[in-house]
Structure 1
Amino acid sequence: MSMVLALGGAAAATWALRGGGDGGETDLASSTWVDMRAEVGVKAIEELLARHTQAVKKKDLNAWMADVDQSDAAFAKRQKQLFDNLVKMPFSDISFDRTKLPARQLARFLPTQLFDRYHAAVHVEAVTIRHRIEGVDSKTVAIPWMPVVALVKGKWRIVGDAAGKDLPLGANGQPWDSTGPVAVLRNDRVIAVVSVDDAERGRSLLQLAETSLKQVAEVRPTGWDGKVLFTAVQDKRIFDTYFAESQERVAQVAAIAVPYYNQVGDWASSPAYSSTRVVFNPTQLTAQPEELAHDLTHEFAHAAMGPVTTARTPRWVVEGFAEYVAYKKDKVRADGIRNALGDLTISTLPTDDQFYSEPRNYVASWLANRMIAEKFGEAKLIAFYEAFQNVSEVESAARSVLGIGVSALEQQWRDYVAQQRG
């Protein structure tokens, strides 16, 4: 403690560190002084991150590990695997940039065991990994990373990872975060990251993905990059990361499309959309090819509409459109629709709050989107989707694009569903 105080003196910045047994989300335990002036501690950490950037670009493991505290053998092993996975990724550019956030905001993510081990001179950093995937990204994608750094023998080193349910979206959920080695497979428009042991199965998945992407491009040929990166590793933790607040939904979801921006969404007020990544639930990788193809097409449709999807776009539009694209070439019989809908009452379009609580809302929303495409034309369906960039009410979007109000739209939907049920 006296050594740390000597480093900073009265000019040092204060770091609030939390204690407890749950990964750092309990009451304030203590405040310590660490010199984080721009010309001292901040500069040292920024230089560390710059060395990390160069280590990945030059594929230099020794340079990467030189800034990692290797006293914990298990953590050192994970860092070597992280590096090995990172250098397999086809980055056209990458950088690790320190993001300035209040210390108290980050302190709650400090694992208690790291505080106990390193005492005063330890804290969580907010790092933005800015990168582009070669042949996929036309814009820079920002990913959050929250390493724990500590003063070890007078030098700042990476000693662990932040923990907690409220980590920013995407933290610990990237393909390179897999605890096992990954393989990167690609064709002209799709990059698939799979576990090394799944490389052979991954090639079949890549072929399905190419067909699915072609199906999406026939509906949405412009307005997006037309290329996708998807993750299908066996490390279930990667997929579960996106359901920290709703673990009960994990088993119900085959894959998820994750939008990313030019800044980390949780750390910025107005980030601009960059790209959508697709992450597979590893429990679904043994599904039948037809089911996998449907899931891929659905998620790729989300990627295609990512640039025009906003917080105002209703869930029934977002999910129903993706199902419309996935089912477009299928002949679905009336008895299949009846079985899928069961006794679901078709009255008003589902609200966002209730959408995911009823799986059959996917079917009902698919029929709503298909009805719009059949009655008004596919171009009008897309225009209706895009209208929510400027309006928040279905009433306004329906009147401006379809020429009818929401009451008439819902009545047409009810009539259409009744007809499809037979």
Structure 2
Amino acid sequence: MDPLRRALLRLLVPALCLLAAAAGCAAPAPPADGQVRRAVADWAAAPPARLAGIPLEGWAYEVTSVRRDGARAFARAELRYRLAGYDTAPAGSARELELARDPGGAAWRVTADRPAPGAPPQLWDQGEVAVVRGAHSLVLGVGQSPQTLSGLAAEADRAVPAVSAAWPRPWAGRVVVLVPGTLDAMAALLGRPADTYRGMGAVTTGATGAGPAPADRVVVNPEGYAQLSQAGRQIVLTHETTHVATRTATTARTPQWLSEGFADWAAYREGPLGPAQAAPTLARAVRLGDLPAALPDDGAFAFGGDQEAMARAYEGAWLACRLVAARWGDAALVRLYEGAGRAPLPTALGQALGTDRDALTKAWQEALRTELG
């Protein structure tokens, strides 16, 4: 090539590159990114041994970004998985995978798999998971004795048919129970401060205020649950399982007094406790002349608030649902629940009970005077 042509090429090549950039041309992704993604896919094909006892299926990572730092790489990904026989849709979890180059430098391998910054952990991030299968339940625990997990499975197995009797609509008929090692570990799973759940026996992911809801799980507070009597534990498990069963009928329209009251109604309906025994906080208030002026509003059920006010709200909600079932029938209460998830409450009350909110409130107040006063 003659000197003049070489000089022209030296001038033209940078100019052509600038024109390509101005036209929006992008360079192809560096090959290493593809290698990192392949390494993540290989990792997904053989989950860690510590997960071997968990009935996982559909385990896959969708890599959203890759950042390289010399001989290390960091991949952000969305983990998708199902618990075989329990989940009808994939659960999700934001993850960060750390990778290192093999000594030869030709390939990458995953060296760590952890929650993405700001994302809550999974139960297996907190330690080795023990698995107990019940007839209608799957119990996953960390740092718990086999006896504790087996007892929870038995309680969950009793809860499922009790819920099916109260909610005669199609649902999975099974429940997944997570049992972390401590209250702090429970709060971490749900992404909330520990004080939010102090004193509670359990919550259900997906229930308002309970935390993120990749799939319905009953999450036990091991400290609060251990303080309950046998009857109390059964009531808690049945209440939370009711939330799992009614999830498809529950929407943002559903009032909290109906959602929580129905769950308590399902838990107490076959038990021996009467109103004064099961609603002691509200009973004290009514005896002192503090009769609620209205059905509890949604804010009264917020976690981490005034515990006594929240107890009165739960007890009042239960007694409202108990009243509906006693006066209009169990089937009418179920129809009210379904209707309130689809239409405004006044419409649902009219269609299911043939009444309005004012009339229901007055009947509820009279029941409180009679049964608690």
TM range (shorter): 0.7 to 0.9
Query: 1: distance between equivalents of 2:55 and 2:355?
Result: 48
CA deviations 1:208-227 (Å, max 9, x no partner) are 22112221121124321101
- Counterpart of 1:346 in structure 2 is 292
- Counterpart of 2:130 in structure 1 is 183
Residue pair 1:301, 1:325 contacting (<8 A) in 2 also: yes
One-letter identity of the residue aligned with 1:352: D
- Counterpart of 2:223 in structure 1 is 283
CA deviations 1:58-93 (Å, max 9, x no partner) are xxxxxxxxxxxxxxxxxxxxxxxxx344211122x2
CA deviations 1:354-383 (Å, max 9, x no partner) are 323322211010011111111111111111
1:298 and 2:262 correspond = no
Query: 2: distance between equivalents of 1:385 and 1:363?
Result: 18
Shift of 1:97: 2.6
Query: 1: distance between equivalents of 2:193 and 2:200?
Result: 11
- Counterpart of 1:87 in structure 2 is 52
For the structure 1 residues 416 and 246, does the alpha-carbon distance in structure 2 shift closer, same or farther, using more than 3 Å as the test? Answer: farther
Shift of 1:159: 4.3
For the structure 1 residues 197 and 36, does the alpha-carbon distance in structure 2 shift closer, same or farther, using more than 3 Å as the test? Answer: farther
Pairs within 5 Å for 1:26-65 = 40=31, 43-56=34-47
One-letter identity of the residue aligned with 1:144: S
CA deviations 1:95-130 (Å, max 9, x no partner) are 2231648x9xxx9xxxxxxx9xx5897556131322
CA deviations 1:15-61 (Å, max 9, x no partner) are xxxxxxxxxxxxxxxxxxxx9966846543442332222203xxxxx
Q: Select the structure of larger CA radius of gyration.
A: 2
Query: 2: distance between equivalents of 1:416 and 1:285?
Result: 31
Moved more, 291-300 or 36-45: 36-45
One-letter identity of the residue aligned with 1:292: R
- Counterpart of 1:384 in structure 2 is 336
Alignment gaps of 5+ in structure 2: 1-16, 19-25
Residue pair 1:255, 1:295 contacting (<8 A) in 2 also: yes
Shift of 1:201: 2.5
CA deviations 1:183-217 (Å, max 9, x no partner) are 21112211111236511222222222211222112
Aligned-pair identity in percent equals 23
Pairs within 5 Å for 1:71-220 = 83-91=48-56, 93-98=57-62, 100=64, 118=69, 123=74, 125-131=76-82, 133-137=83-87, 139-149=88-98, 152=101, 155=108, 157-159=110-112, 161-162=114-115, 167=119, 171-172=120-121, 174-179=122-127, 181-195=128-142, 197-220=144-167
One-letter identity of the residue aligned with 2:281: A
Residue pair 1:243, 1:250 contacting (<8 A) in 2 also: no
Query: 1: distance between equivalents of 2:259 and 2:251?
Result: 10
For the structure 1 residues 384 and 41, does the alpha-carbon distance in structure 2 shift closer, same or farther, using more than 3 Å as the test? Answer: farther
For the structure 1 residues 385 and 338, does the alpha-carbon distance in structure 2 shift closer, same or farther, using more than 3 Å as the test? Answer: closer
Paired residues, number? 331
- Counterpart of 2:353 in structure 1 is 402
Query: 2: distance between equivalents of 1:234 and 1:410?
Result: 42
For the structure 1 residues 121 and 135, does the alpha-carbon distance in structure 2 shift closer, same or farther, using more than 3 Å as the test? Answer: closer
CA deviations 1:315-373 (Å, max 9, x no partner) are 11111111111111123345425632122541112222232332221101001111111
Alignment gaps of 5+ in structure 1: 1-8, 11-34, 57-82, 108-114, 267-272
For the structure 1 residues 365 and 396, does the alpha-carbon distance in structure 2 shift closer, same or farther, using more than 3 Å as the test? Answer: same
TM-score (norm 1): 0.69
Pairs within 5 Å for 1:230-249 = 230-249=177-196
Residue pair 1:53, 1:94 contacting (<8 A) in 2 also: no
- Counterpart of 1:411 in structure 2 is 362
Query: 2: distance between equivalents of 1:293 and 1:37?
Result: 59
Query: 2: distance between equivalents of 1:36 and 1:125?
Result: 22
